[in-house]
Structures are given as structure tokens and as C-alpha cells.
Amino acid sequence: MRIIYLAKAYFMGLVALVIALTSGCTPFDLHEKIFADIEEVPPTPDRMVAMWTDTVMYQPGKPAIRGFGARIFFYGGEEDDPIEVDGSLTVYAFDAEQYVTGLPSPEKKFVFTPEQFVTHHSKSKAGHSYSVWLPWSEVGGPSRHISLIARYEGRVGGVVVSDPSRTVLPGIQNELGDDKTQIGKNKKPSLKDVQLASHDDEKADTAVTINLPPSFAKKLQSQSDDTQSSENPIGLDLSVEQVEPKQVQESAAEAADSDQSTASPLSYHQQLSDHFPRRRYPVGSSPGWSLNGRAPRREPLRAKWLSALPPTPRSPVISTEDSP
């Protein structure tokens, strides 16, 4: 009997508990009570997109600071919408103008802890994103070309690295004489400008022949004779046989012909008459013209006074008949 009584009491207590739980207006969420202490783990991204740009931060009473700003999006799986993450972010800044073989070392390194990185989170129409700013130096420095690489490491695991982004930091130009940071200074020499010394081709001297008129050739010959006589006052035979070019010989022959032509004027005029054809009519003559006679002269019109002006349509009519 005692066992039956205890069973009834247990059953009545269970019914009372069920009635108490199901009574009232507030529903009882058993799932929420059980998993209330379990935190939701954020998804792990597998790719990251960082959009960098140069920015300047102005603060009252302080010099302006130039640097780089970025908006970073994280994507997981095949989803197209950005997701929210939980982890740390490290940004490495390299000198893009320096050519280094092997593994380069970053010029600067910026670290955001998980507690700091979560404060940079924002959500807009584009989705979840994180905005960061990297201070570099005061405004007024030289312009720089910087390559930025971001690395995300999740709190529970997972590492994502962004693609290198080359960004220009505006500034003043370096003065002449300073160590300029230019891309061209690391340019390798071109082999096309290198040439072996044994392949150097020297241009040979070329002779140019000038045709001289006969009179000028004769004048040069006379000057050379005077020079030889002044250099050899004793009268030694210092003549050297010289073979003149063919064109010089032809010029000398033309000079000799010209001398002969000047010696005989009649032959020269005869040559001209043979060279030029005779005119059909002599100078100052024409058919019916006599060289001995004078040219015919026509009498000009003699001037005289007009008796009266010619009549016009408005001239008065004058009767020439005698009055009775």
C-alpha cells in the first residue's frame, strides 16, 4: 500500500508541475534555457578584399598626418554577401620602389587585436565591412610608392591573406642631389647598348673631287711655281713627278685652248659663228628695209582751233536764213 501511495503522490506532483508550466501567457522556451550559455561562433572567411586609398588626418593644434585608409570585406564559401568575422588583422607595408632579391622585409607593420578590430566593424547596404586607417608620416614628406598586404587570423582558427595593393602616397618631389627613390634606379642595364670593341667599324676618309675653272687652275699653278722658287733660292732640282688626275688634266687642256683662242680673235669669232646659227634677218632689218636709207616718217596731225563746239540735243536752234 505504501508503494501505491508514493506512486500516486509522484504522479500528482508531476501533473501539478505540468499545469504550472503550461499556465499563464508567457510561453516557456526550453531550447533557449538550455543553450543560453553557448555563444554563437562566427563563420571563418576564405577570402578578403581590401580597397586602399591615401588619406590625411587633420587634428586641431596638431600637424596633419598622411596615411592610408582601407575598407575591408570578408567572404566565406560561395556566398556573395560580406560576413562578420572575429579575429586579428595585421597589415604589412613594403617599399614598392626597392628591388630586393629573396624575401623582403616590411618597412612598417600595423596590428589590430580582436578586441580592437571588432570596433572597426560597420554594416551598410553593401554588407558587413571593416574600416581601418594607417598613419604614415607628417604632411610634407617625399612621395612614396607603398605595397600593402593584409593578413587576417581568426580567433578560433583560419588565416586569410589579401592580394598586394600598390598605393601612391602623395608628397613633394625630392631635391636634386638627394637620394631619390625612383623606380628607374633599379632598372637593369640593357644588353643592346653593349658592343664589342672588335666590331667597331671606323669610316674611311672619302676623297672629293672639285672641278675648277681653267682660269682658277692656272692661277693655282702660278702660285705653286712662286712657292717653289721661294723655297729653293739656290736652284736645286727639287721637282717631284706628280701624276695629276684626269679631271685636272682636262681642265689644263681647256685652259690651253682658251689661251689659244684669246691669241687669235678672228678664229674665236669664227668659232662663235660656227657655234650659233645665223639669224634669218639681220638686226634692224626686215623685208623691204634698206640699211642705207632712212626710215620712213609720217607727218603728225596738225593742231588747229575749233570753230564751234558740236551741237547737242539741248543746243538752241539758230536759223541761218536772212530775215526779210
Q: Which one is predicted more confidently, 12 or 289?
A: 12
Mean pLDDT value across residues 33-40? 55
Q: Which one is predicted more confidently, 238 or 195?
A: 195
Mean pLDDT value across residues 52-71? 91
Task: Report percent pLDDT > 70 for the chain.
Answer: 51
Q: Which class is domain 47-173?
A: mainly beta
Confidence category of residue 109, pLDDT binned at 50, 70, 90 = very high
H or E, element range at 112? strand 108-112
The confidence score (pLDDT) of residue 319 equals: 60
The confidence score (pLDDT) of residue 232 equals: 55
Least confident of 18-22, 141-145, 200-204: 200-204
- 90, 159 contact by CB (below 8 A): no
Task: Please check the confidence at residue 204 and state whether its pLDDT lies above 70.
Answer: no
Return d(Cα 146, Cα 98) in angstroms, integer.
10
Report the Cα 238 to chain-centroid distance in Å. Answer: 68
Mean pLDDT value across residues 309-317? 75
The confidence score (pLDDT) of residue 115 equals: 93
The confidence score (pLDDT) of residue 199 equals: 54
Task: Please check the confidence at residue 194 and state whether its pLDDT lies above 90.
Answer: no
Least confident of 29-38, 63-72, 120-129: 29-38
Distances (CA, A) of 139 to 47, 144, 170, 227: 34, 12, 9, 81
Mean pLDDT value across residues 289-298? 58
Left (φ > 0), alpha (ψ -120 to 50) or beta: where does 257 sit? Answer: alpha
Confidence category of residue 124, pLDDT binned at 50, 70, 90 = confident
Give the cell for residue 298: 609720217
Confidence category of residue 135, pLDDT binned at 50, 70, 90 = very high
What confidence tens digit (pLDDT) does each residue in 251-262 have? 666 666 655 555
Task: Please check the confidence at residue 314 and state whether its pLDDT lies above 70.
Answer: yes
Mean pLDDT rounded to a whole number for the chain: 72
- 96, 165 contact by CB (below 8 A): no
Look-up of cell digits 680673235? 265
Task: Please check the confidence at residue 132 and state whether its pLDDT lies above 90.
Answer: yes
Task: Please check the confidence at residue 207 and state whether its pLDDT lies above 50.
Answer: yes
The confidence score (pLDDT) of residue 176 equals: 42
The confidence score (pLDDT) of residue 42 equals: 72
Task: Please check the confidence at residue 239 and state whether its pLDDT lies above 70.
Answer: no
Angle between helices 246-263 and 265-275 (to 10 degrees): 110
Confidence category of residue 155, pLDDT binned at 50, 70, 90 = confident
Task: Report percent pLDDT > 90 for the chain.
Answer: 22
SS3 state at 77:
coil
Entry field: residues in the chain: 324
Max mean pLDDT among 106-120, 212-226, 273-287 falls in: 106-120
Confidence category of residue 73, pLDDT binned at 50, 70, 90 = very high
- 184, 129 contact by CB (below 8 A): no
The confidence score (pLDDT) of residue 221 equals: 75
